Amino acid sequence: MKPLLRFEGVTCRRGGRLLFEGLDLSLGAGGGLQLSGPNGSGKSSLLRLAAGLLRADAGRIERADVALADEGLALDRELPLGRALDFWARLAGDSGRSEEAMDRLGLARLAHVPVRLLSTGQAKRATLARVAASGAPLWLLDEPLNGLDPDGAARLDALVAGHLAGGGAVLAASHTPLAGSWSRLELGQ
Amino acid sequence: MIGALIARDVRRAIGGAAWLPVGFFLLIATLVPFAVGPDPRLLERIAVGGLWIAALTAALLPIDRLVEPDRASGILDQLFVHGVSEEAIGASKLVAHWLTFGPLLLLAALPGSFILGTAPAALGRALIALAVGTPALAALGVMVAALTAGLPRAGAIAGVLLLPLAVPLLIFGAAAAGDGGSGALLVEGSVALLIVAAAPFVAGAAIRAART
């Protein structure tokens, strides 16, 4: 079966500094891969490469449709959360999914609250809800646990487990270990 | 998809400060009689020029809210991830910006013309020339906004970039109001078309370059 994400001999340089060289990885349906490594070791760059937002200096990258949750909130601050998430769900082709995603992340009662009033943890949940509503098979999560309380972390674990069981794949960069069975890739060695 | 992007930008402009460039436009138009004195014959001669200078400076005002907020909050990245091309982003921003800038500016040009004492015979031609110019002013705004997004002191750089690019528009637009038979309106129209046609590609390339 065709993998959802494949790196072949990928080299990444940022600002003249070599982050990694000749990196191979392959992520198929149901595969979860956790990236770790010190600050500045290239975890976020690897995620942006996987999303197509950066070009590799060498090597090849193949990927399925992706959804990305990084530090950018990417929601209109003046809109109620429900409508802001709906914009992306509709762009991805199905507006009904955003309601379900908010439910799964415990955001249902915040649907009418303007995005600018959300706390750090609520905003993190919102970015995860956008990913959950995208319908993309490959999820790229940058420090998904940042700012989440134990309830949020449990919901994230359930969300990821459900996505993997449904034949999706997840690539997550995180310092703290994530629940469930993950393959690991240590950068910066 | 482009419809959703245009609707979003129009909503943000109306909810934000779409009236601000218009107020600025009228303010500049009011300053001219104060600066040169109330002599009607002198004002009549410079009125169209004053109108255009007011329009150009007003076009600078919305630049900082066109692209930079979307870049900073990660919306441009997410649009790319959702498969929207940078050129489509540039084109939809151009349409949305014109919709919330062009008609309002033309509306304000009526009282503006009276403040400046435009000759009644030239009023129609001046408004038509300005109408032909507004899409190009909007296009220049979007291009410059994309080129300066993420730079420190982007506002000042935007002014230095936009105003020289608008010089052909200014020359032929102001000339078109002066003499209906000169063909200046046609030249202005072709300059405006060129700018509008280039804008989505220039803005798209700038958005792409800003990402890396």
Q: Taking CB atoms and an 8 Å limit, are A52 and B78 in contact across chains? A: no
Q: Please answer yes or no on whether B1 and A75 come within 8 Å at the CB atom.
A: no
Contact B74 A78 (CB under 8 A): no
A87 with B4: Cβ contact below 8 A: yes
A118 to chain B, minimum CA–CA distance in Å? 15
Q: Which residues pair with A58 in a beta bridge?
A: A11
* Inter-chain touch A73–B78, beta carbons under 8 Å: no
Chain A CB contacts of B3 below 8 Å: none
What is the C-alpha separation between A79 and A56, in angstroms, rounded?
36
In the numeric block, the tokens 């993950």 are attached to A182
Q: Nearest chain A Cα to B7, which residue? A: A87
What is the least distance, in Å, from the CA of A147 to any CA of chain B?
18
- Give the Cα separation of A83 and B82 in Å (integer): 17
Chain B contact probe: residue of A12, A53, A98, A115 with most B CBs at under 10 A: A53
User: Is the predicted pLDDT of residue B179 greater than 80, yes or no?
Assistant: no
CB atoms within 10 A of CB B67: 29
Residue B98, CA distances (Å) to B29, B188, B190, B210 in order: 21, 17, 18, 24
Supply the DSSP symbol for A18.
Answer: E
The pLDDT score that the predictor gives to residue A45 is 93
Q: How far is C-alpha A50 from the geometric centre of its chain's CA atoms?
A: 11
Smallest Cβ–Cβ distance between B74 and the set A67, A70, A77 belongs to: A70
Q: Which residues of chain B have a CB within 8 Å of the CB of A78? A: 12, 15
Question: Would you state the structure tokens that stand for residue A147, as one six-digit string?
Answer: 């700012």
Domains of chain A, earliest start first: 29-41+65-186 (3.40.50.300)
Side by side, the strands of the sheet bearing A17-27 are A17-27, A5-14, A58-63
Between B21 and A92, the higher pLDDT residue: B21
With contacts defined as CB-CB under 8 Å, which chain A residues touch B150? Answer: none
- Cα–Cα distances in Å, from A67 out to A70, A140, B187? 10, 6, 47
At B27 the three-state DSSP class reads helix
Q: What is the pLDDT of residue B212?
A: 76
Query: Structure tokens of A154?
Result: 């449990």
Question: What is the reported pLDDT for B211?
Answer: 87
pLDDT digits (tens, 9 = 90+) for B84-129: 999 999 999 999 999 999 999 999 999 999 999 888 888 999 999 9
Which chain B residues contact residue A90 at CB under 8 A? 4
Q: Which of B75, B81, B82 to mutate to test the interface with A (most CBs of A within 10 A)?
A: B81
Q: Compare all CA atoms of chain B with the CA of A64 and give the residue at the minimum distance.
A: B81
One digit per residue, the tens of pLDDT, for chain A of length 189 reads 688 999 999 999 988 889 999 999 999 999 999 999 898 889 999 999 999 999 999 999 999 999 999 989 999 999 999 999 999 998 888 777 888 999 999 999 999 999 999 999 999 999 999 999 988 999 999 999 999 999 999 999 999 999 999 999 999 999 888 888 888 998 877
ipTM: 0.92
Provide CB contacts within 8 A for A40, sequence distance 6+. A188
From A142's Cα to the closest Cα of chain B, the distance in A is 13
Chain B residues close to A66, C-beta within 8 Å = 81
B-interface mutation test, from A44, A87, A128, A141, most B Cβ less than 10 A away? A87
Sequential DSSP letters for B131-172: HHHHHHHHHHHHHHHHHHTT-TTHHHHHHHHHHHHTHHHHHH
In this complex, the residue of B75, B81, B84 whose CB is nearest that of residue A51 is B81
Query: Taking the complete model, does pTM exceed 0.90, yes or no?
Result: yes
A78:B1 CB<8 A:
no
SS3 A7: strand
* Residues facing residue A136 across a β-bridge: none
How would residue B181 be classed by pLDDT, with cut points 50, 70 and 90?
A: confident
Cβ–Cβ below 8 Å for A68 and B73: no
In this structure, what token pair is assigned to residue A70? Answer: 């990084």
State the pLDDT at residue B166. Answer: 95
